[in-house]
Structure 1
Amino acid sequence: MDLTASASILVDAPASVIFDILADPHQHSRIDGSGQVQEIVDSPERLSEGARFSVAMRRGLPYRVTNTVVEFADDRLIAWKHRGAHVWRYELQPEGDRVRVTETWDGTAYPAVVRPFFRLLVLKDTRRALEETLVNLRAVAESDAVLRD
């Protein structure tokens, strides 16, 4: 049973501009499409493999998560996870003068017994949040790219 949600979008900005946004946790609230990211509580200025960052979140009630970067390739790939078994991943692929950004919520590491729960209660909202996040990321990255010129 597949337990992933994914969306992609073409962005008219250099991969370095897009990646700078993703690798800076302090910018995540600028692009968050879920409405849950409140503020960064603790993080390095720029993420790298193994880096940890803590985020104040809100989904009804406030909570806090600490994420660890588990995949990292500058200007191409960044992924993180917290105590849960799911991974948030961003992949950047050049397409002509633009960059395709794919965001994936990957819950394939969850045990089979909990997968139906996530499929019913999480994936629908997650897909919507991914799509909204990517629309926000495109707007922010394209704006930041103009400011850099």
Structure 2
Amino acid sequence: MATKKVARSVVIAAPAEEIFDVLASPYRHPDFDGSSTVKGQIHGPDRLELGAEFGMDMRLGVGYRMTNRVVEFVPDRLIAWRHLGAHRWRWELEPLADGTTRVTETFDYSYAMSFAYQLAGWPSRNARAIEQTLPRLKLLVEDAA
């Protein structure tokens, strides 16, 4: 099966560690979510690690709750989670020589029934959400510095 991913990147004027701290805190996710579906954390740790589960209040037309599990984790460099659907949200941080960090967010649906995801339009919806999320994360982190 071909790998199916939607990814976008942004350069943030902050060290990878500071950005990772925001990403690894599920309480902060509503602050930078560009999809406007993440409303708040309902359970889980303050800081994520490999295997951690965290629940979020969500809204896409109607309210619902989603439990996620961290499935990839390299401190200050990579974090990815998934819920009971097999697709993943992945964040990769690449420190650059000038002290900034390239952040790449990826919606990876290669683990799922990709045809159904494409038919439902999820890849393009998630691309638009990523394009709104990354500037919000940039502003959030740079304003805190």
TM-score with structure 1 setting the length: 0.92
Q: CA RMSD in A?
A: 1.0
Equivalent residue number for residue 118 of structure 1: 117
- The structure 1 residue matched to 2:108, chosen from 106, 109, 119, is 106
Distance 2:115 2:91 in 1: 25
Amino-acid identity (%): 43
- Aligned equivalents of 1:40 and 1:51: distance in 2? 13
Which consecutive unaligned segments of at least 5 residues does structure 2 have? none
CA distance in 1, matches of 2:42, 2:127: 26
The secondary structure found in structure 1 opposite 2:17 is: helix
Where does residue 54 of structure 1 map in the other structure?
55
How far, CA to CA, are the matches of 2:115 and 2:88 in structure 1?
Answer: 18
Which whole-Å deviations, capped at 9, do the CAs of 1:5-42 have from their partners, x for residues lacking one?
11100000111110000000000000000000011000
2:77 matches 1:76 = yes
Counterpart of 1:15, as a letter, is A
Task: Tell me how far apart the structure 2 counterparts of residues 50 and 43 of structure 1 sit (CA, whole Å).
Answer: 11
Equivalent residue for 2:131? 131
Which stretch shows the higher mean deviation, 22-31 or 117-126?
117-126
Alignment correspondent of 2:91: 90
1:3 aligns with 2:4: yes
Letter in 2 for 1:16: E
Residues 15 and 125 of structure 1: is their aligned pair in 2 closer, same or farther, counting only changes over 3 Å? same
Aligned length: 142
8 Å CA contact 1:43, 1:53 repeated in 2: yes
Q: Distance in 2 between matches of 1:59 and 1:68?
A: 20
SS at match of 2:34: coil
- d(CA) in 2 for partners of 1:31 and 1:132? 9
Q: Tell me the secondary structure at the aligned position of residue 110 of structure 1.
A: coil
SS in 1 for 2:31: helix
User: What displacement does 1:116 show?
Assistant: 2.6
Q: Structure 1 unaligned segments of length 5 or more: list them.
A: none
